[in-house]
Amino acid sequence: MKKVFLFNPPFGLYRRDNRCQNRVEDQTVNVIFPPMELLYCAAILEKEGRRVWVRDYPASHSRLNDLLADMKQIQPDFAIFTTTVATLESDLSVARYIKENQPHTIVAAKGEPLHRLDDDVIRNTPNLDIILRGEVESYISDFVSGKCWSELPGVTFRQDENVVRTAVSDEFLDLDSLPFPARHLIHNELYRSPETRNPLTTIITSLGCPHKCIYCSVPALTGVNVRFRNPESVVDELEECVHRFQIREFLFHADTFTLKKTWVIDLCQRILQRNLDIRWGCNSRVDTIDEERLQWMKKAGCWVVGFGVESGNNDHLERMKKRATAEQARDAIQLCRKNGVRSHTFFVFGFPWDTSQSIRELIQFAHELDPDFFDFNIAFPIPGTELDDLVTKQNLASRDRLKNGGYATGAVSTESLAAEELERWRRKALWSMYLRPHYIFRTLRNAGSPHIAMNYVRAAMNRVRNLLFSARKREFNSWDHTISN
């Protein structure tokens, strides 16, 4: 019986699934999510009788020695890990350690950067046998079964002295055909709500996005045609989480959860019919939310909605190909406030056209919106995106900084601002929002219980420490609490 070992390498606490591969501690909400892609692969393989192990070493604060000890004990036929842009170099070193100790094991890597960098990586990583691209769940079974690699869709490997790169399949996964993720293979207590400290998990409800924002990898990864799960299947999975795993807090993961109004309302009605008593959050575009949707979502347990607002400048939004407006962002936040659902907004700057003045205006717009939670991200050129092509053409990217990339670290310059200046502007933006007395009072008031309020205080202290330690000492001497300079 084939033995398969799926894992996240012990190098940095990042969100490794899909498009949001940011460092956990760089975000306002420090939450760790389970490795859903690995859990889906595990469920598929278990269903076919394979022996499977799943480890999330960053989440358990484990080290390389723990990984090697597990490898020695399991003696797997296949070792498959997920990587990110920021951790790529460290993650790939795992292949060497595995081969030194388990030379018979086939070592495979998957992850967002490998969709574009696969050729270079496979040529320069001799201990890595194969790269898995595309929707790995669609062919993981054939891969483990021993099917000829050249017949698999979306893989990259060496053959003699050549690199073979097969095309990704034009057919995307039918989400309803997948078994539920193999949550029994992980320690679910590692994943908790930062507010309540209750167990939390992710439910994938749809994949794909019809929009083509220049900084986003979704069109290349999951396509522009949105695939929704049957709402009944989603609720069945929720019920399994509640009764089998005692999990009642969820993030509904979708490239845009609220895209299809009838689907959202149908799902909410089914949640209510099952009396699940759950608490959940989701994401939305600012132009795919309305009062009826929000009212049903609130009734079904939704407490927070995340919005990719990005900018308050309509010309900048058009350049990003966002296909949304600042006015729609204002309406969305007001609707959430009216209906008792909290909002989490994401802003982004650091595009080639950004200046000190445009960033200052963005911060002022964030103050105007006054969301419940917020993040300011620095634009990062994910390999394969239009932004990546743009900054490469304009010679704005720093190779050294790209290796340490993330949404809090300036990996590129703009036409008028250095990467270091973008990092300073990000800190100014966050400080200016956090230190508003009415914001602090409202956040504690809305906590709803002393327990949650204390968790907010602890989170704030961690956030302050993170921001202080990331700033240079000379910046503190001249830092101004205002954004007028």
Please give the pLDDT value at position 18.
Answer: 64
Q: How far is CA 293 from CA 274, 341, 430, in A?
A: 19, 11, 30
Query: With 0-12 CB in 10 A as exposed, 13-18 as middle and 19+ as buried, what is 52?
Result: buried
**CATH architecture of structural domain 3-164:** 3-Layer(aba) Sandwich (3.40)
Distance CA 128, CA 121 (A): 9
The pTM of the full predicted model, rounded to 2 decimals, is 0.92
Please give the pLDDT value at position 322.
Answer: 97
Q: Which one-letter DSSP state was computed for residue 173?
A: P
On the CB side of 266, CA atoms within 13 Å amount to 13
Please give the pLDDT value at position 479.
Answer: 38
Fold: same for 3-164 and 188-478: no
**CATH architecture of structural domain 188-478:** Alpha-Beta Horseshoe (3.80)
Please give the pLDDT value at position 172.
Answer: 86
What angle is formed at CA 68 by the lines to CA 35 and CA 111, rounded to 5 degrees? 35
Task: List per-block mean pLDDT (blocks of 10 residues) for the chain, which spans 485 residues.
Answer: 96 78 78 95 97 97 96 97 91 95 96 92 97 96 97 96 94 93 97 94 95 90 91 98 98 94 98 97 97 98 97 98 98 98 97 98 98 94 90 86 76 93 95 95 92 90 80 41 39
Please give the pLDDT value at position 217.
Answer: 87
Give the residue extent of every domain in the chain: 3-164, 188-478
